[in-house]
């Protein structure tokens, strides 16, 4: 089953075309990574995936519905979105933050009270995602890594069919990044039917469960498909406009600038 499909999609902002004929399709249960340099168009593509941006031309289908012919609020309730720049200003508890995934709001709506089953679901996710015992802790006291796991729980509380992760490792040190990636990998076991799309600039931030990649450069597709056939030295070098050597070990990826031989100069 196809969860997401873009067909010859273009997008203009003012008089500038940002995306040029983007096409790819995501199947149920697949875990995609969107990679490319700054300005490649990753955020715009993710906007289509989340049903928040409409194409200038071409067709976008999300969860079987075509953008422009569907009631957006109902569609968005089936999509979980993890944004590390979550604009929370109130000192909510972890549990309250997770529960705002049910209401689709940043803060807890006035007079809204969760049902017992919703509370139980939130607490189960908090425990599963490595935050056991922290449900009553306040947002300002959490580390960046704890906030990342709380936001994943928030995105999952409605059992979405599609999970979007927008640079989830932003601001994390190495240890916190690895803990977060372990959490994302865990979702392959706890939520096996959920399709995911993760945006990043860095190969080191790809979860081991990544199945497919989309490489973008200057608003065009460089490569799209199964991770091992698309995440190659040649494709990554083309996308980033620089010779880069790609390595993979046990499902994890790394990139280094390719060494060039320099002429020895003597004086």
In the prediction, which pLDDT does 264 show?
A: 44
Whole-model pTM?
0.91
From CA 217, how far away is CA 162, in angstroms rounded?
24
From CA 250, how far away is CA 29, in angstroms rounded?
20
Share of the chain above pLDDT 90, in %: 75
pLDDT > 80? residue 104? yes
Residue 56 exposure: Cα atoms within 13 Å on the Cβ side: 14
From CA 130, how far away is CA 147, in angstroms rounded?
11
pLDDT > 60? residue 263? no
In the prediction, which pLDDT does 262 show?
A: 52
pLDDT band, very low/low/confident/very high, at 261 (cuts 50, 70, 90): low
Average pLDDT, the chain: 91
Task: Summarize the confidence of residues 140-164 as an average pLDDT.
Answer: 93
From CA 122, how far away is CA 102, in angstroms rounded?
10
pLDDT band, very low/low/confident/very high, at 105 (cuts 50, 70, 90): confident
pLDDT in tens, 204-240: 999 999 999 999 999 999 999 999 999 999 999 999 9
Q: What is the DSSP string of 26-64?
A: EETT-EEEEE--TTSSHHHHHHHHTTS---SEEEEEETT
- What is the length of the chain? 267
In the prediction, which pLDDT does 170 show?
A: 86
* 191 and 185 Cβ atoms separated by less than 8 Å: no
Lowest-confidence range among 25-29, 154-158, 199-203, 259-263?
259-263
List where CATH 3.40.50.300 sits in the chain: 1-78+161-267
Which superfamily does CATH assign the domain made up of 1-78+161-267 to? P-loop containing nucleotide triphosphate hydrolases (3.40.50.300)
From CA 176, how far away is CA 173, in angstroms rounded?
5
Record the tokens describing residue 163, joined without a space: 């999970």
In the prediction, which pLDDT does 171 show?
A: 85
In the prediction, which pLDDT does 148 show?
A: 92
Q: Who wins on pLDDT, 193 or 211?
A: 211
Task: Summarize the confidence of residues 118-142 as an average pLDDT.
Answer: 93
**Residue 231 burial class via C-beta count within 10 angstroms: exposed 0-12, middle 13-18, buried 19 and up:** buried
pLDDT > 80? residue 163? yes
Phi first, then psi, for residue 23 (nearest 5°) are: -140, 130
* 158 and 102 Cβ atoms separated by less than 8 Å: yes
Task: Summarize the confidence of residues 100-114 as an average pLDDT.
Answer: 89
pLDDT > 50? residue 259? yes
pLDDT > 80? residue 23? yes
Return the ∠ at Cα 129 (arms to 128 and 132), rounded to 5°. Answer: 70
In the prediction, which pLDDT does 106 show?
A: 87
């Amino acid at each position: 089953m196809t969860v997401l499909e873009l067909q010859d999609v273009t997008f203009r902002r003012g008089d500038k075309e940002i995306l040029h004929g983007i096409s790819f399709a995501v199947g149920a249960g697949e875990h995609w990574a969107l990679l490319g340099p700054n300005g490649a168009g990753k955020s715009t593509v993710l906007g289509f995936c989340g049903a928040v941006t409409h194409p200038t031309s071409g067709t976008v289908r999300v969860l079987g519905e075509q953008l422009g012919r569907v009631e957006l609020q109902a569609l968005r309730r089936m999509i979980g979105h993890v944004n590390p720049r979550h604009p929370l200003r109130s000192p909510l508890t972890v549990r309250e933050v997770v529960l705002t995934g049910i209401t689709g709001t940043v803060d807890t709506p006035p007079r809204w009270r969760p049902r017992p089953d919703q509370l139980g679901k939130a607490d189960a996710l908090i425990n599963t995602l490595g935050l056991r015992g922290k449900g009553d802790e306040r947002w300002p006291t959490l580390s960046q890594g704890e906030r990342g796991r709380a936001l994943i729980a928030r995105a999952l509380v409605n059992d979405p069919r599609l999970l979007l992760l927008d640079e989830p490792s932003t601001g994390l040190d190495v240890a916190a990044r690895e803990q977060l990636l372990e959490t994302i990998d865990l979702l392959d076991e706890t939520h096996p039917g959920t399709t995911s799309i993760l945006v990043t600039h860095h190969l080191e931030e790809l979860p081991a469960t990544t199945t497919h990649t989309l490489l973008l450069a200057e608003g065009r597709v460089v490569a799209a498909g199964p991770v091992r056939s698309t995440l190659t030295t040649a494709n990554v070098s083309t996308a980033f406009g620089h010779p880069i050597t790609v390595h993979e070990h046990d499902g994890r990826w790394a990139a280094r600038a390719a060494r060039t031989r320099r002429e020895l100069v003597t004086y």
